[in-house]
Structure 1
């Protein structure tokens, strides 16, 4: 059981299913004293909370639409007012829309993707981080779920890849800023998985050397990396190969390699949830 989590207050966004629900269970199992779960579906939040009952654990649920920045402001202020400043913050919530080319998609879909995947975690951290910095009595952790798509983008997911690339860069700069400002008790980890088999990427095609991750495996890797304060958790190993090849090869050579490995065709059969 981690000393970082035992007795800690933990806030998780997108906590009703998939990796979010698994992060919540992990926090409960490791002895968190308070869990704050954010999601859009009140009934699903209540079901999640009911399944997390543990002696000494208080579970709070907040219905928050992450496409509404004012709602994030209100919910974050409520957390602070309730003396529930998190020791561990998991920015897990994410969305992806259809698999059309960028010009075929409704512009509103791109806007919602950027709101949930990029602007929402930024907005939430802007509220909570000052209080996390001020409380240096115990270690603090921020886990930001980005994506391998932010490192190795591929067609038919333009808005999603852009949102995750922005989230990835922001997250790592946040880490550097905390180090530079000597707030060493607050550590930031950026999680960059390839496809995770939660249903969010249902129908996505296989990529050579980059198998889809079981959600339990993805959460375990992210959680362990976060507790250790690792700057990045990038998984599976094939993502490192793609990242390195894209950085070293000329653009056309990388394009050819990505086609051969199935990267550029992996979203053609995507259906999602």
Structure 2
């Protein structure tokens, strides 16, 4: 169980065709995974990346999967099992963001889509593969769930996105504890909670005080290394943990004052444009 959990493993990554998903795929290939399954709604991009990475000798395949639809997740897993077997490592990376006041969100396009892609998709996928991961104790298993600092602190113009990430964190941490309590210690669950990352997804957002916008490579490295070690939670940068601590000990009015006027957390989404 001290072996590298990626070497000779089947790695499944959602939202894998670009951005951080692509970087996770490149890391899996570099670590000599047995095979890598790239799930993305952009089939052409997923297949192009798979073709490039397969030149390394690792079998990498792209799959056109809309993770907001549970039926596609189930069907997609059937395809992966037929091609490779059951995943040893699952990286729940797919996500979207909608930045606006809550009452401006469209109930379906914004609210339902965000909750499906950011929260339910990870639960549906993990629920499908977890019984097989539990049964196979021959090698270490990993589940990496990409949450957000928005799931640790409330922030204006992020109500639905924050709700989806709060759900991700609560589910991910609870599942980790359940696996440990039932003795399934070969499976490690890591929850990654970053602040803003320059993938284009948060275009226009501004980092709070002492919180620089992270590069995708820096963020991916932190999440990846945490997953390898089986670290329960990875928070980046350090100000995320500081903000959580202050919010926990200060009265709400005092924290609101600091967050609004000192740390500038509450204005960080004021110029948000996002990716079209």
Q: TM-score, normalised by structure 2?
A: 0.95
Alpha-carbon distance in structure 1 between the residues aligned to 2:248 and 2:85: 42
Q: Residue in 1 aligned with 2:40?
A: 39
Structure 2: segments with no counterpart, 5+ residues = none
Contact 1:49 1:59 in 2 (8 A): yes
Alpha-carbon distance in structure 2 between the residues aligned to 1:95 and 1:203: 15
How big is the shift at 1:83?
4.5
2:12 is aligned with 1:11: yes
Q: 1:1-273 alignment to 2 at 5 Å? A: 3-97=4-98, 99-108=99-108, 109-260=110-261, 261-273=263-275
Secondary structure at the aligned position of 2:150 is classed as helix
Alpha-carbon distance in structure 2 between the residues aligned to 1:162 and 1:209: 24
How many residue pairs match? The answer is: 271
Contact 1:28 1:54 in 2 (8 A): no
Alpha-carbon distance in structure 1 between the residues aligned to 2:200 and 2:157: 17
Structure 1: segments with no counterpart, 5+ residues = none
Alpha-carbon distance in structure 1 between the residues aligned to 2:5 and 2:129: 18
Secondary structure at the aligned position of 1:191 is classed as strand
Secondary structure at the aligned position of 1:130 is classed as helix
Alpha-carbon distance in structure 2 between the residues aligned to 1:170 and 1:208: 29
CA RMSD in angstroms, aligned pairs only? 1.1
Residue by residue over 1:126-175, the C-alpha shift from the partner in whole angstroms, topping out at 9 and shown as x without a partner, is 10011111111110000000000000120001000000000001000110
Alpha-carbon distance in structure 1 between the residues aligned to 2:4 and 2:251: 46
How big is the shift at 1:62?
1.2
Alpha-carbon distance in structure 1 between the residues aligned to 2:168 and 2:85: 25
Residue by residue over 1:41-82, the C-alpha shift from the partner in whole angstroms, topping out at 9 and shown as x without a partner, is 111111111221244311121111112121112112333344
Contact 1:35 1:58 in 2 (8 A): yes
Deviates more, 1:25-34 or 1:76-85: 76-85
Secondary structure at the aligned position of 2:53 is classed as coil
Alpha-carbon distance in structure 2 between the residues aligned to 1:74 and 1:53: 23
How big is the shift at 1:259?
0.6
Residue by residue over 1:6-55, the C-alpha shift from the partner in whole angstroms, topping out at 9 and shown as x without a partner, is 11110000001110000000000111110000000111111111221244
Contact 2:47 2:61 in 1 (8 A): no
Secondary structure at the aligned position of 2:27 is classed as helix
Q: TM-score, normalised by structure 1?
A: 0.96
